[in-house]
A and B are shown apart, each in its own frame.
Chain A
Amino acid sequence: MSMSANPMTSPNRRIFLSRAAALTLLCATGSTQADEHSALRFGLTPVFLDDQIRLLRDWRNDLEQRLNRPVTFIQRGSYREIVELLRDQQLDLAWLCGYPYVRFQNSLQLLATPVYDGQPLYRSYLIVPHDDFATQSILDLQGKIHAFSDPDSFSGYLLPRYRIQESGRSADGFFERVVMTHAHRNVVQAVADHLVDGGSVDGYVWDMLERSTPHMTGLTRVVCRSPYFSFPPIVARATLATATQEALTSALVAMAQDTSGQDILKALGLDGFMRPEPGMYDDVRQVVRVMGASM
């Protein structure tokens, strides 16, 4: 969830960077030798609350049992890093936002879509501090300070900008200042702390936070909810063996059918995973196409 801090001075940083490069090289060599028994590398992004260590451990154990194969979770602070790792073959699959999936769908393969509240859909929320009673829509926040989660986020960036564009104004320069918090959770925090005047957040994450940390969401007010869009999917790199892709989809879908899987789904706040249907992310594609010119 958090970016690595960089407390090192210039010479140290140079050493660190060279080591990081060497590490990347090693990983790259490893991936070419990937076989059916090497660990599956599962990239995680802040599309959900990825800071729950116990949940991640349980989920990994569960997946390892279902796949009969070791699974490694790899977390990164931004969508972009995960996408790049996927495209560099350094990750096998990832839980990604719909917007980067649509952008790089040629090199990615849909595995499963989470089912939330009975449907594979979610919304974007516009939130303001709880003592702001005046704001009625995002258009009221013009010239204010606004928090987004990630420039590659659909619900936490693209969709609110789309809404502004829709009203005939330019999304660029609409706010006095924009703060990227790298996570939906931080958007809620920034609004609760009055660091910003408003924020755009993944509705599913906000709902989850309301369950786990109501004192934080209590300091925010949901101004409006967007229409429903397809839930951020789990995708694989296109180069991953088809059998493995199928095994992964089956494993994820099967979670809803036994208690150990249900426990994890309950902790995730999901009903289950479903096989993607054709045309499922067309709603996202539609928005991306409109906004595409500025991307």
Chain B
Amino acid sequence: VTLPHLSLRHKIPLRSAILVLLTALAVTAAIIGLEYEKLRQDTFERAEVMAHVLSENLVSPLRNDDLWRAYEIVQTPITHSGEAPDLVFLLDPDMLVYVASAPETLRMMRPLGMHSQEFARVAEAIQRHFSDHFSGNHAIRGENTAIPALRIIEKQHDYLALPVTADELLMGTLVMRFSRDLHWPRFVDIAQRAGLITLLVLVILLPISWLWSQRIAEPLVRLAQCMQHVGSEVERTPDCKLDSLRNTTHDEIGALARQFQHMLHELEQKRAMERQMLVSERLAALGRLSAGIAHEINNPLGGMLNAITTWKRHSAPDPHSEKTLALIERGLLQIRDTVSALLVEARPGALNLEPIDIEDVRHLIQPNLMDKQIHLAWDNRLEHLLPLPATLIRQVLINLLLNAMHAVEPHGRIEVQVMQKQDHLRIHVANDGAYIQPERIPHLFEPFGLFQPTEGSTGHGLGLWMTYQIVSQLNGCIEVRSEPGWTEFTLSLPIHTD
């Protein structure tokens, strides 16, 4: 059966069901066939016993030419029911009808063959059979006086012919005819019973086979669906829940699931890497651009500020001009602040990060914590001086903590962990505040990336930009992980011992 558009989920059970059905039908048909054949053999055997009794009874009437008695004897097996013959007749040695249970069908003293084509064939078969056993004058040939009965199979009837012999002479032939229809009620009975048993077996087997095939098909279907998603969903790797499969089954499907899971994992890693590269490159480009712009702005800006300073020193401006100049100066100073914030230049400075530098940050932010009643879990594991720029590290830590404090609700929680891990400094800042939407993560470290002007906000949206710039200039890396109720920033900075 080819069902090109059907899912394996249905195809495998369907095929197995068909297989079960065909098997059941084949077995049933075979049983019925055998039973039917046995039935016919049984009928023949019973008929043979009956024929022997009748033929012994017929010897005396034949010898006395007592036709009525012979008629009564050939009538006895005719009961019009069960497996009785529907016609019994006696032939004389010359193949003339001596008497028949149905005198209208077979006329007395007429050749058997003249009644119908079928009877002609029967007569011929009997003559052929008996010519082997009897000589021309109807005497038995040879030693064996037990002449076997002859079975003749015709289209609608089975015949059984048995010679009636006395004193080694053929006196006549007893023939019994059985209608094939006789077997029909028994056959129907057998078929019905076999059908019923088959049905019972099917009732048990079909659900089992269906369930079984479902179990074979199900992982394949799941794998297939999973693979379809791999093609369509570029952003995320589908969760295929193949774990149960991978772990429990050790067959080909299990291996396939394992391999597939492995492939998905690799794909995911590759994608993450690509995304990071993209972000890094974009941020690097932005860094270069903003550094360029900052340099270009800084030069005229310095000039303008110098000019204002000079003006203020060498002239006595009227109150109106003084007010205007102050306004311009404040604006220019703000521009300078912003530009210098954009232009993060990690000047190495002194490489002398001490544990106390980290502790200073804690003291610094303490008031802010008190305002919001935030719980701070502080874990500073630094024990000695590290060759890292203390100012920049403090700057980064403050930035991260300020963001965290901004994110948490009152009575929220912030975790800080600073530790040396082999040749890296690891800083971990986490909070249970508002989380970062996944779609914003790629743009998180861009200037004004996370900036959301809210009431009372003092930030300018450059904190994470600065942090990123500092970390990347120190050859470190920064990781963000954010899910509802928990956001953590982990940065890792290499320690150069040389």
Contacts and interface: CB of A to CB of B under 8 A. Distances in A.
B392 to A, nearest CB: 129
Contact of B53 (A7, A176, A193): A7
B71 A195 contact: yes
Q: Which of B57, B66, B67 has the most CB of A within 10 A?
A: B67
A182 B104 contact: no
B108 interface: yes
Nearest to A179: B67
Given A7-B56, A176-B109, A2 B104 contact: no
A151 B131 CA distance: 38
A9 B431 CA distance: 118
A6 B68 contact: no
Nearest to B71: A195
A190 interface: yes
Contacts of B103: 193-196
B56 A9 contact: yes
B129 interface: no
Nearest to A196: B103
A189 B71 CA distance: 11
Nearest to B105: A194
Contact of B99 (A8, A194, A195): A195
Given A9-B56, A195-B103, A3 B109 contact: no
Given A6-B57, A7-B53, A176-B109, A194 B67 contact: no
A177 B66 contact: no
Which bracket fits the contact residues of A?
20 to 34
B317 to A, nearest CB: 153
A181 interface: yes
A153 interface: no
B426 interface: no
A180 interface: yes
B68 A177 contact: no
A145 interface: yes
A109 interface: no
B53 A190 contact: no
Contact of A186 (B68, B73, B109): B68
B272 to A, nearest CB: 104
A139 to B, nearest CB: 21
A194 B106 CA distance: 10
A53 interface: no
| Interface size classification for chain B | 10 to 19
Contacts of B108: 145, 177, 195
A2 B71 contact: no
A7 B69 contact: no
Contacts, number: 42
A6 B60 contact: yes
Given A145-B108, A176-B109, A5 B68 contact: no
Contact of A179 (B56, B59, B60, B68): B68
A193 B67 CA distance: 14
Interface string A3-20: 101111100000000000
Nearest to B56: A7
A180 B60 contact: no
A180 B71 CA distance: 11
A195 B90 CA distance: 13
B72 interface: yes
Contacts of A6: 57, 59-60
Contacts of B56: 7-9
A47 B56 CA distance: 31
Contact of A7 (B57, B71, B72): B57
Interface in A153-185: 176-177, 179-182
B71 A190 contact: yes
* Most chain B CB inside 10 Å of its own CB: which residue of A8, A177, A190, A195: A195
Interface string B46-71: 00000001001101100000111101
A293 B57 CA distance: 36
A3 B99 contact: no
A181 B72 CA distance: 10
Contacts of B59: 6
Contacts of A2: 72
Nearest to B69: A3
9 contacts: A2-B72, A3-B69, A5-B73, A145-B109, A180-B66, A180-B67, A181-B68, A193-B71, A194-B104
Closest 9 CB pairs of A and B: A195-B103, A6-B60, A181-B68, A194-B104, A179-B67, A194-B103, A7-B57, A7-B56, A179-B68
Interface of A: 2-3, 5-9, 145, 147, 176-177, 179-182, 186, 190, 193-196
